[in-house]
Homo-oligomer: A and B are copies of this chain.
Amino acid sequence: MNLKYDVEELTNFIRQTLISQFIPENDAEIISERMIDADLRGMHGHGIFRLPPYMRRIHEGGYNINPNIKNLHETPVSALVDGDNGFGQLVMTHAADLAIKKAKESGLAWIGIQNSNHAGAAGVYVAMTLSHDLIGIYMAVANANHMPPWGGTDMLLSTNPIAFSIPAGEEDPIVLDIATTETSYGKVKVYADIDKEMPVGWMLNKDGTPLTDPKKASEGFLLPIGGHKGYGLNLIVGMMAGVMNQANFGSNVIDFNANFKSPTNTGQAFFAIKPNLFQSLESFKKETDIRIREIKNSTPMDPSNPVQIPGHMAVQREKEMRRNGVPVSEKTTQLLSELEKKYNTKVPFHYKGA
């Protein structure tokens, strides 16, 4: 049973917990907001759920809690952001803001990011472009290798996500946030918890046979979307978010679930572009609305399930959560209570009802 918490209180709890461990106040504010932004999109695996492991990483010395984030090799349309091993949310917010600023001035901008960390939900960052009427693209090297290259068995690849945002007119914008794997390792863990068989196509055993028992997940590996196609996309994300920024990719990726001490040198990339480089913003938005409506009003296979536009459900989820609270699992609630005691944060941590 999930408990539901007020958005502001939950954000404040994260903020206070971070401040108690000497994260600067402004930084704690940004980190807490980005984490709750993930919850508000429905990406609960990247929201407050992550606070306990992040706190452990602070304690074991894996984070630089007072990073000096720098822009290197800057041009009007590009920069390499050195995250100085700060929180990923902090580094990525800096990078997305920089891309937005440069794209507004120069039409487009590509920001490479090195020495960053896990930043949570990709959709959160691309969505930052929307209020500026920009299209966004985000790529990241994920922080644990659970997949071999296609046709191989060595775990050299992670779930490497890619995300896009497209502003619309009267319609809600398009926000796509996908891993290049068929499923996430987090989802596999959920299936293991409830002892549910996984569908064929999510994972393979090392001999190439389907792995459907989630309790045996550690014996096999995740599968890319579309076989060799998703493997290729995964590799490209690794090259453009990792190698291009002198960040880790391949065998030098640090497994952040196993190692809380070593800097991860996480690589990300962020691109922003003005759609009105090519036509008026008005005509772009009008045509975007037409295409969105055409798809969402198209014939569904099952009449009770209308066709969805990527990102539209997230808008509804956020409205619902702002009204009725953010769902947090009992297990996470328990872990958060432990943090509360440990750090003596004494934040009013009420739940608003199940």
Residues of chain A at the chain B interface (Cβ within 8 Å): 72-73, 75, 77-78, 80, 106-108, 110, 112, 135, 148-154, 156, 164, 166, 174, 176, 178-179, 182, 201, 206-208, 225-226, 228-233, 235-236, 238-240, 243-246, 249-251, 273, 275, 277-279, 283-284, 287-288, 290-291, 294-295, 298-302, 305-310
Do B291 and A232 touch (CB < 8 A)? no
Do A307 and B245 touch (CB < 8 A)? no
Do B174 and A235 touch (CB < 8 A)? yes
Once bound together, how far apart are the Cα atoms of A156 and B201, in whole Å? 26
Do A152 and B298 touch (CB < 8 A)? yes
Do A151 and B112 touch (CB < 8 A)? no
- Nearest neighbor of A162 in chain B, beta-carbon distance: B233
Do B149 and A250 touch (CB < 8 A)? no
Do A301 and B246 touch (CB < 8 A)? no
- Our pick among B75, B149, B178 for the contact of A298 (Cβ within 8 Å) is B149
Do A80 and B150 touch (CB < 8 A)? no
Classify the interface of chain A: helix, strand, loop or mixed.
mixed
- Nearest neighbor of A152 in chain B, beta-carbon distance: B307
Do B228 and A308 touch (CB < 8 A)? yes
Do B226 and A230 touch (CB < 8 A)? yes
Given A135-B244, A299-B152; A277-B307 close (CB under 8 Å): no
Can you give 10 A-B contacts (C-beta < 8 A)? A77-B108, A112-B278, A135-B240, A148-B299, A153-B298, A166-B239, A208-B302, A225-B230, A235-B310, A246-B278
4 additional contacts, CB 8 Å, given A174-B235, A246-B279, A250-B291? A77-B106, A151-B302, A151-B305, A153-B300
Do B283 and A246 touch (CB < 8 A)? yes
Please indicate the chain B residues that have their CB under 8 angstroms from the CB of A250 in the complex.
290-291, 294-295
Do B112 and A166 touch (CB < 8 A)? no
Please indicate the chain B residues that have their CB under 8 angstroms from the CB of A151 in the complex.
300-302, 305-308
- Nearest neighbor of A181 in chain B, beta-carbon distance: B226
Please indicate the chain B residues that have their CB under 8 angstroms from the CB of A166 in the complex.
236, 239-240
Looking at the assembled complex, report how far the CB atom of A137 sits from the nearest CB atom of chain B, in whole angstroms. 9
- Our pick among B108, B153, B308 for the contact of A150 (Cβ within 8 Å) is B308
Do A73 and B156 touch (CB < 8 A)? no
Please indicate the chain B residues that have their CB under 8 angstroms from the CB of A246 in the complex.
278-279, 283, 287
- Our pick among B164, B249, B290 for the contact of A291 (Cβ within 8 Å) is B249
Task: List the 5 closest A-B pairs by CB distance, nearest first.
Answer: A225-B226, A176-B232, A154-B298, A152-B307, A232-B310
Do A110 and B277 touch (CB < 8 A)? yes
Please indicate the chain B residues that have their CB under 8 angstroms from the CB of A273 in the complex.
78, 110
Once bound together, how far apart are the Cα atoms of A156 and B246, in whole Å? 41
Please indicate the chain B residues that have their CB under 8 angstroms from the CB of A78 in the complex.
107-108, 273, 277-278
Most B CB within 10 A of own CB, among A179, A201, A278: A278
Do B301 and A153 touch (CB < 8 A)? yes
Please indicate the chain B residues that have their CB under 8 angstroms from the CB of A176 in the complex.
232-233, 235-236
- Our pick among B182, B206, B300 for the contact of A301 (Cβ within 8 Å) is B206
Looking at the assembled complex, report how far the CB atom of A26 sits from the nearest CB atom of chain B, in whole angstroms. 27
Do A225 and B235 touch (CB < 8 A)? no
- Our pick among B107, B229, B243, B301 for the contact of A77 (Cβ within 8 Å) is B107
